[in-house]
Structure 1
Amino acid sequence: MKSIVWPVTGLMMIAGAAQAQSLTVVNFGGANGDAQRAAFVQPFEKASGTKVSVVEYDGSQAKVKAMVEAKHISWDVVDVESGDLGRGCSEGLYEKLDFSKIGKRADYIPGSIDECGVGAFVWSTALAYNADALKTAPTGWKDFWDVKKIPGKRGLRKMARGNLEFALMADGVAPKDVYSVLATPAGVDRAFRKLTELKPYIQWWEAGAQAPQFLVAGDVVMTSAFNGRINAARKDGKNLQVAWNGSIYDLDYWAIVKGTPNLAAAYKYIAYATSPGATADFAKRIGYGPVNNGGIAKLDAKTLALLPNSPQNIKNAVRQDGEFWTDHGDELEQRFAAWASK
């Protein structure tokens, strides 16, 4: 570009301005992506004049790493799961945030502010059931394990994370004590023993869409499920309900790719997407909780009842311990895979 001399310098200024007013935002697509487009992307484009391109990905950090190492950045803002945020930050994949460019720290819920990220929304894995099929509604994981009280198959995601915590709660461990128990070899053995009790009744799911499908089809009487998937099924007229006792919640985070040429626009996008109005709008569309206290305050009781971090639903919930799973995830997932294959 430096070797080109334009006859009209104004053209260069216009081109430069146009290039500056663009942003690429990366998320997981699906119903979540649709809700983000309606609540965040389109209103931000209208308010800022910035063109936002949305890219879907599977959460793998490999492409982000390749971009940063090559110093050829084509993504700007990325929706990152909690387990990947810390690793990505330590590896230099994401910018360390200047929070003064986003908002007031006091306005955000606990756990939503990190060195390289700010919470995008709160989601959970919870116990879900078809209220048209069950005469007795389950109240928690003890009921999930009680095949005499509520006969039938149960759905669980085919992985250790989440299931070990559910098993301990079914075995009487209080939500607040789950990770202190799971941090011991005896606690891990206890969780696997409890899972073994239920194993003949388990139907595994791997994709998030399968859990509500199993319920609607009658393949299972209860299942663990992403709460947003259950909310989407309810909007389609299915009488699926959630027992929030013992749900495991976590946050997705907004992160800015290290070295982006669109840093200022990235900050503006995150500030908008975490503002009270935008987070409340998003929550109404998919049932994932706002990270902004002002967003929570904007919601009515009916909407709050569907959110993992409403004052009522979070009382007996467990915040997923990302550090625990970073430290022990590989060994526990290997043990789980061996156990599940027997």
Structure 2
Amino acid sequence: MTVVSRRTFLLSSAALVASAYVPAPSAQGRKSLTVVSWGGPYQRAQSQAVWRPAAKALGIELVEETYNGLADLRLRVRSNSVNWDVVSIGAGGAARASAEKLLEPLDYDVIDVSTFFPGYHGEHWVAGDLYSTALAWNTEVYKNAAPASWADFWDVERFPGHRAYRNQALGHLEPALMADGVAPQDVYTTLSTDEGLKRAIDKVARLKQHIAAFWGSGAQQAQLLNDGAVDMASAWTGQIAPLMKAGRPIAMTYAQGMLDADCYVVPLGAPHRELAMAFLNEASKAQYQAAFSMAMPYGAANEAAYGDGLIPAEVAATLPSSPENLAKQLRLDAEWWRDNQARAEKLYQEMISR
């Protein structure tokens, strides 16, 4: 089953056209680097906050392109037609690309990740930003007591009302197990058994009569909450933060949120591999990651971005990777999903269709 990424949903539903920055032809002898992402507002923020300043600091020209995900990367590598140097991709896509041997190993003698949060770089990828799937709700419906955990999301007696939940298993089996009493640190051990996988899917099945919509995009989850069609939802925090900022009666909690990463990778056979490593080192610096978090409601992977006032305290409090919010969440295990997604998704879709 083809899995459409969070960002593909976000951009297609935002009704905004990708705006790529393509510079004038390179000056004589000046080095050029091609960087690829998903287009739309996300890539514009990457370009303005990170890529262009990093390219300027390195004295190189930047060419930006857009793509449609792992399949595009796979095709170029396997056909020996790689003209990309750096690619922005989700953690799950990075894990699959690594397993398929589509990526260059990153050079950590060049790329400094000494101030990164632990676990947010690997042999073939380095995190560019962090995001979460969290519990969001209508504050006018739940005035006296707000839901504070996935157990509350499943508690239709204390918190009656319509729910929205994802139409894919990815990142949505873990909340079901936590709602069923599994400790966060035991979630993936439990999911790795047949009994645990069935337990998670059965837990969602028991809530089905209260799920008004199985959402398929970021725009849909936000619209359902904004219109009052549902009273609470699992939601990508980057979709909910703008509604809260606009004063809509919506709140969210990072408690038991599912934390995930957007990554940078270097395709196997990249024409400017050494320059790509230098670029990733520059782009990973705290000031660029802080600037991106100020432009988009995504968290920095570089912990130093939260120091020295780079991100104001009132903004940091809303971001998924601020140290306070980070401690409340479960990191999505991209390797587990790489190895188990096909089986889990088949069972999940069967449950939805019953």
What TM-score results when the alignment is normalised by the length of structure 2? 0.85
The equivalent of 1:294 in structure 2 is 304
The amino acid across from 1:316 in the alignment is K
Q: Aligned pair 1:127/2:139, yes or no?
A: no
Post-superposition CA distance 1:50-96 (Å, at most 9, x none): 3323323332x222222223322222211122222233224332111
The number of residues matched between the two structures is 326
The equivalent of 2:64 in structure 1 is 54
Post-superposition CA distance 1:154-205 (Å, at most 9, x none): 1111111222111111111121221122222222222122112210111111
Distance of aligned partners of 1:70 and 1:58 in 2 relative to their CA distance in 1, 3 Å threshold: closer
In 1, Cα distance between equivalents of 2:172 and 2:98: 28
In 1, Cα distance between equivalents of 2:342 and 2:185: 24
Post-superposition CA distance 1:27-72 (Å, at most 9, x none): 223432232122112323443443323323332x222222223322
Distance of aligned partners of 1:16 and 1:303 in 2 relative to their CA distance in 1, 3 Å threshold: closer
Could you tell me how far 1:110 is from its partner in structure 2? 0.8
Runs of 4+ that moved beyond 4 A: 15-20
Bigger mean CA offset, 169-178 vs 44-53:
44-53
2:239 partner SS: helix
The equivalent of 2:118 in structure 1 is 110
Distance of aligned partners of 1:267 and 1:56 in 2 relative to their CA distance in 1, 3 Å threshold: same
The equivalent of 1:6 in structure 2 is none
The equivalent of 2:14 in structure 1 is none
The equivalent of 2:336 in structure 1 is 324
Q: Aligned pair 1:42/2:42, yes or no?
A: no
The equivalent of 1:234 in structure 2 is 244
Distance of aligned partners of 1:100 and 1:182 in 2 relative to their CA distance in 1, 3 Å threshold: same
2:129 partner SS: strand
Conserved 8 A contact 1:175-1:316: no
Conserved 8 A contact 1:140-1:244: no
The amino acid across from 2:191 in the alignment is L
User: 1:82-97, aligned counterparts within 5 Å?
Assistant: 82-97=91-106
The equivalent of 2:72 in structure 1 is 63
Conserved 8 A contact 1:39-1:278: yes
In 1, Cα distance between equivalents of 2:210 and 2:41: 30
The equivalent of 2:261 in structure 1 is 251
Distance of aligned partners of 1:32 and 1:234 in 2 relative to their CA distance in 1, 3 Å threshold: farther
The amino acid across from 2:302 in the alignment is N
1:102 partner SS: coil
Larger radius of gyration: 1
In 2, Cα distance between equivalents of 1:176 and 1:310: 20
Could you tell me how far 1:17 is from its partner in structure 2? 5.8
> Which residue, out of 302, 316, 325, partners 1:313?
325
Could you tell me how far 1:240 is from its partner in structure 2? 2.8
The equivalent of 2:291 in structure 1 is 281
Could you tell me how far 1:263 is from its partner in structure 2? 2.4
Could you tell me how far 1:340 is from its partner in structure 2? 0.5
Unaligned residue ranges in structure 1 (runs of 5+): 1-14
Bigger mean CA offset, 236-245 vs 324-333:
236-245
Post-superposition CA distance 1:260-313 (Å, at most 9, x none): 222233223212221010011111222221111211223332122212222221
The equivalent of 1:219 in structure 2 is 229
The equivalent of 1:75 in structure 2 is 84
Distance of aligned partners of 1:86 and 1:191 in 2 relative to their CA distance in 1, 3 Å threshold: closer
In 1, Cα distance between equivalents of 2:209 and 2:73: 41
Conserved 8 A contact 1:232-1:286: no
Identity of aligned residues (%): 37
Could you tell me how far 1:114 is from its partner in structure 2? 0.9
Distance of aligned partners of 1:189 and 1:73 in 2 relative to their CA distance in 1, 3 Å threshold: closer
In 2, Cα distance between equivalents of 1:132 and 1:277: 38
The equivalent of 2:10 in structure 1 is none
The equivalent of 1:206 in structure 2 is 216
The equivalent of 2:43 in structure 1 is 33
